[in-house]
Amino acid sequence: MARITASVYTSHVPAIGAALDLGKTHEPYWQKVFAGYDYGKQWVKDNRPDVIFLVYNDHATAFSLNLIPTFAIGTAAEYEVADEGFGPRPVPKVMGHPELASHIAQSVIQQDFDLTIVNKMPVDHGLTVPLSLMFGQKDPVKEAWPCPVIPFAVNVVQYPVPSGRRCYELGKAIRRAVASFDEDLNVHIWGTGGMSHQLQGPRAGLINREWDNAWLDKLINDPEACASVPHIDYVREAGSEGIELVMWLIARGAMADAAGGPKPVLKHRFYHVPASNTAVGHAILETV
C-alpha cells in the first residue's frame, strides 16, 4: 500500500534557480538562502521518497490565458523543462509516475474535485527550483532526479484562486487516494510557492516577517485554523503573490493528522529575507 510519510514546504523563487544555474551559490547573498536547505538535502537522502507529489503553480508558462485549470494533475511519463525566456534551466527532465498519477486523478475526481488531467506540460521554475533546492545541482543530461515526480499545478495567477479550505480538503482527498494504491510506495508531498512577496505596482517588495511566521506556526500546529484564512488576508498581509501559500495547505491536508492520525514531527524550519523580491520559507514535516 502506498502512503504519504512526509511533506516538504518551500518557496520556489526563480532567482534561486538562476543563482544555482549561474554558479552564485557561494556569494554571501545566496549563501544565506542555500544554508537553510542543508538539513533538508541530508534528510531527503536519508528518507528517500519513491515518488514526489509536487504542488506548484505554473507562471504563464504551460498555460496562457487560453486555458486556465484550477487544478491540473500531470499523468504523463515525462515532462520537459520549460524555456521561460532565458532558455530551459540546465536540469534533468522530470520523469512522471503515470500509474500512481492516474490512480490519484481517478480517486480524487470521484471525491468531487474537478481536476484537469494533463499529459503534455512543460514545467517551469515553480517545479524545478524546489527539486534543485532539495537535491542539489544535477547535470541535465548525465544525471537524473532521484525519483519520479507527479506535477500538480494550481491556478494562483487569475483570481479567483481556490480557497485555503478547498486546498486543505483536496490534500485530504489526495491522502485517501494514495492509500488506496496497491503498490508499496513511500510518497512525499511538497507544497511550494510564497512566502510573502508582491511583484507588482507601487507596493512591490512587500515582506511581512511577522505574518509569515505566525502563518507558518498555524500551518504546522493548527492547520484547520490555517485553512480558514481568507484570500484577502494573504493579499493584504503577505502581498499579492503571497497567495501562493494556499498551495502549502494541499500538502498539509495530506498529512495523517488531518485524517485523525498522529501529529507530524517538525524536522526542520527555516525563514530568510530576501531572495530577490521574496521571503523564503521552508519546513519539513514527517509522520513517525
Partner 1 sequence: MALEKPYKDVPGTIIFDAEQSRKGYWLNQFCMSLMKPENRARFKAEERAYLDEWPMTEEQKQAVLARDLNWCMRTGGNIYFLAKIGSTDGKSFQQMAGSMTGMTEEEYRDMMINGGRSAEGNRYIGEDGDAQPHHQPQGSAGKTQGA
Residues that are catalytic: 125, 197
The three-point CA angle 221-226-231 to 5° equals: 160
Find the length of the chain: 288
Among 94, 118, 177, 178, binds its own copies (CB under 8 A): 118
DSSP 74-132: E-SSEEPBPB-SS-B-SSPPEE--HHHHHHHHHHHHHTT--PEEES---B-HHHHHHHH
CB-based contact 237:250 (threshold 8 Å): no
Residue 40 vs 242, nearer CB to partner 1: 242
Kindly list the distances between the CA atom of residue 167 and the CA atoms of 75, 194, 228, in Å, as whole numbers in the listed order: 20, 15, 11
Residue 114 vs 184, nearer CB to its own copies: 114
Residue 66 binding its own copies, by CB under 8 A: yes
Residue 157 binding its own copies, by CB under 8 A: no
Binding site for partner 1 (CB under 8 A): 14-15, 18, 29, 59-61, 64-66, 75, 83-86, 98-99, 102-103, 105-107, 117, 119, 157-160, 180-182, 196, 198-209, 211, 231-232, 235-237, 240-241, 273-274, 276-277, 279
SS3 268: strand
What residue 70 binds from its own copies, partner 1, Fe ion, none (CB within 5 to 8 A, per partner kind)? its own copies
Radius of gyration over alpha carbons of the chain, in Å?
Answer: 17
Identify the CA nearest to 242 among candidates 125, 128, 164, 132: 164
CB-based contact 4:187 (threshold 8 Å): yes
Determine the interface stretch with its own copies among 113-121, 123-131, 189-197, 199-207 (rule: CB under 8 A). Answer: 113-121
- Closest approach, Cβ 234 to partner 1, in A, equals 10
Residue 154 vs 285, nearer CB to partner 1: 154
Residues that bind Fe ion (CB under 5 A): 193
Contact residues toward its own copies (CB under 8 A) are 65-72, 106, 109-110, 112-120, 158-160, 162-163, 166
